[in-house]
């Protein structure tokens, strides 16, 4: 019998995150004032770390932190300006393209390798070191894969609810714990000699990786952002199969191991189904019920593309320069 241990609190990356983390640890101390939050870089490490820590209270919490702090009014009061700063930046940076064109663009595979696609880079050039770094930073999401999207369920009805629930059932192993996608990812990490603890690699993750996870938490925790959450989910499912095919190849070429191949191989076929259901039933159903949400679904797609593009630029910039992409080098395979 193993007991699940709560993840440790991350290390602070600036005054905002230091104040939030100190408050969680000691339940005392001043939280950051609004002015400091308004001046912070919305995509920067400090704000993203502060948000990440506050959002994690709604998932698995932290070792030594009272579970009751999830709904502590002062922490919620500081979370709001942090996430408004992030959301305002995402909205300002999103193009105004409508949903039909946005979806069509997602479905189009670029013909040539433009040098901006992480899965193509890993397929063509990735060694085990890069695949391990990629898995470590993606573990912040994949070890809770599909969890943030489950928050949409009570906010949907009819076809959208039935479609999302069917996909989530698949993501959660269709009734078999060993097939939960988060578990398949943990198995991939074991093949790569990585630690499988939830949140284990948060201190190594660049701010660009934290932003991808914070985006889903932001969209998941606010009912008013349900349209954008559906757009996020659609983006993940639609873009997954071609990328997963390339990552399967990368895992095979580097002999990463059977579980490492399986995670991505499963996603090629599973997400080829999921993306059909998410477009037809989830987006189709939602917009049938709430046609006014169409721009929000498009915004969710744009916001996801934005944070993913930022992460891709960071990763490719580091790898092409021969550097590691994490904040510190990974320990050698365990």
Partner 1 sequence: MPNSPERPRRITLVRNGPVLVEGPVEVTGDDGEVWVSDRFTVALCTCRRSRRYPWCDTSHRRPTGQTHTGESRSATRTQRHDGGDDR
Q: State the residues that interact with partner 1 by CB under 8 A.
A: 100-101, 103-104, 107-109, 111-113, 166, 169-170, 174, 241-242, 245, 268-273, 275-277, 280
Q: Are 166 and 144 in contact (CB under 8 A)?
A: no
Which of partner 1, Fe ion, none lies near 181, with the C-beta cut-off 5 to 8 A by kind? Fe ion
Nearest to 295 by CA among 227, 240, 238: 227
Instruction: Name 140's Cβ contacts closer than 8 Å, sequence gap at least 6.
Output: 199, 201, 202, 205, 209, 210, 213
Within a 10 A sphere around the Cβ of 268, how many other Cβ atoms? 17
Q: Are 17 and 214 in contact (CB under 8 A)?
A: no
Within a 10 A sphere around the Cβ of 169, how many other Cβ atoms? 12
Pairwise CA distance, residues 168 & 174, whole Å: 8
The CB-of-181 to Fe ion minimum distance in angstroms stands at 4
The CB-of-307 to partner 1 minimum distance in angstroms stands at 23
Which of Fe ion, partner 1, none lies near 112, with the C-beta cut-off 5 to 8 A by kind? partner 1
Within a 10 A sphere around the Cβ of 174, how many other Cβ atoms? 10
Which of partner 1, Fe ion, none lies near 113, with the C-beta cut-off 5 to 8 A by kind? partner 1
Distance set, CA 300 to CA 50, 77, 163, 226 (Å): 22, 24, 18, 9
CA atoms within 13 A on the CB side of 218: 27
Which of Fe ion, partner 1, none lies near 132, with the C-beta cut-off 5 to 8 A by kind? none
The CB-of-168 to Fe ion minimum distance in angstroms stands at 9
Interacting positions 165-204 with Fe ion (CB under 5 A): 171, 181
Which of Fe ion, partner 1, none lies near 277, with the C-beta cut-off 5 to 8 A by kind? partner 1
For partner 1, which is the closer residue by CB, 72 or 179? Answer: 179
Question: Which tokens sit at 207?
Answer: 């701010």
Question: Does the protein bind Fe ion through residue 142 (CB under 5 A)?
Answer: no
Question: Does the protein bind Fe ion through residue 281 (CB under 5 A)?
Answer: no
DSSP codes, 207-225: HHHHHHHHHHHHHHH-GGG
For Fe ion, which is the closer residue by CB, 62 or 264? Answer: 264
Q: What does the radius of gyration of the chain's CA atoms come to, in whole angstroms?
A: 19
For Fe ion, which is the closer residue by CB, 23 or 149? Answer: 149
For partner 1, which is the closer residue by CB, 89 or 166? Answer: 166
Pairwise CA distance, residues 164 & 71, whole Å: 27
Question: Does the protein bind Fe ion through residue 138 (CB under 5 A)?
Answer: no
For Fe ion, which is the closer residue by CB, 181 or 245? Answer: 181
Question: Which tokens sit at 214?
Answer: 């914070």
Question: Does the protein bind Fe ion through residue 147 (CB under 5 A)?
Answer: no
Q: Which of 274, 293, 306, 310 binds Fe ion (CB under 5 A)?
A: 274
Q: Are 250 and 259 in contact (CB under 8 A)?
A: no
Pairwise CA distance, residues 20 & 32, whole Å: 8
Binding map of Fe ion across residues 8-47, x = CB under 5 A, - = no contact: ----------------------------------------
Question: Does the protein bind Fe ion through residue 232 (CB under 5 A)?
Answer: no
The CB-of-258 to Fe ion minimum distance in angstroms stands at 18
For Fe ion, which is the closer residue by CB, 78 or 265? Answer: 265
Question: Does the protein bind Fe ion through residue 271 (CB under 5 A)?
Answer: yes
Which residues make up the interface to Fe ion (CB under 5 A)?
Answer: 171, 181, 271, 274
């Amino acid at each position: 019998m193993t007991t699940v241990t709560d993840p440790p609190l991350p290390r602070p990356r600036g005054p905002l995150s230091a104040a939030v983390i100190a408050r969680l640890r000691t339940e005392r101390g001043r939280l950051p004032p609004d002015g400091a939050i308004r001046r912070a870089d919305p995509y920067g490490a400090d704000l993203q770390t502060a948000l990440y820590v506050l959002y994690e209270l709604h998932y698995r919490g932290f070792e030594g932190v009272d579970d009751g702090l999830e709904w502590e009014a002062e922490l919620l009061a500081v979370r709001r300006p942090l996430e408004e700063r992030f959301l305002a930046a995402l909205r300002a940076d999103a193009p105004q393209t409508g949903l039909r064109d946005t979806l069509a663009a997602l479905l189009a595979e670029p013909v040539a390798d433009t040098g901006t696609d992480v899965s193509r880079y890993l397929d063509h050039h990735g060694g085990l070191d890069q695949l391990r770094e990629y898995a470590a930073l993606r573990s912040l999401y994949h070890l809770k894969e599909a969890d943030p999207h489950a928050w949409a369920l009570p906010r949907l009805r009819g076809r959208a609810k039935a479609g999302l629930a069917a996909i989530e059932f698949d993501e959660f192993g269709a009734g078999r714990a060993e097939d939960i996608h988060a578990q398949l990812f943990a198995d991939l990490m074991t093949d790569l000699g990585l630690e499988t603890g939830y949140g284990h690699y948060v201190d190594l993750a660049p701010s660009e990786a934290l932003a991808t996870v914070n985006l889903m938490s932001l969209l998941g925790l606010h009912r008013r952002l349900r349209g954008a959450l559906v757009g996020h989910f659609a983006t993940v499912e639609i873009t997954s199969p071609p990328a997963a095919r390339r990552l399967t190849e990368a895992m095979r070429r580097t002999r990463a191991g059977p579980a490492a191949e399986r995670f991505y191989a499963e996603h090629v076929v599973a997400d080829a189904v999921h993306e059909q259901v998410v477009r037809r039933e989830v987006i189709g159903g939602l917009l049938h019920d709430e046609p006014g949400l169409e721009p929000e679904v498009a915004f969710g797609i744009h916001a996801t593309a934005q944070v993913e593009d930022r992460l891709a630029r960071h990763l490719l910039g580091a790898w092409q320069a021969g550097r590691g992409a994490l904040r510190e080098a990974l320990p050698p395979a365990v």
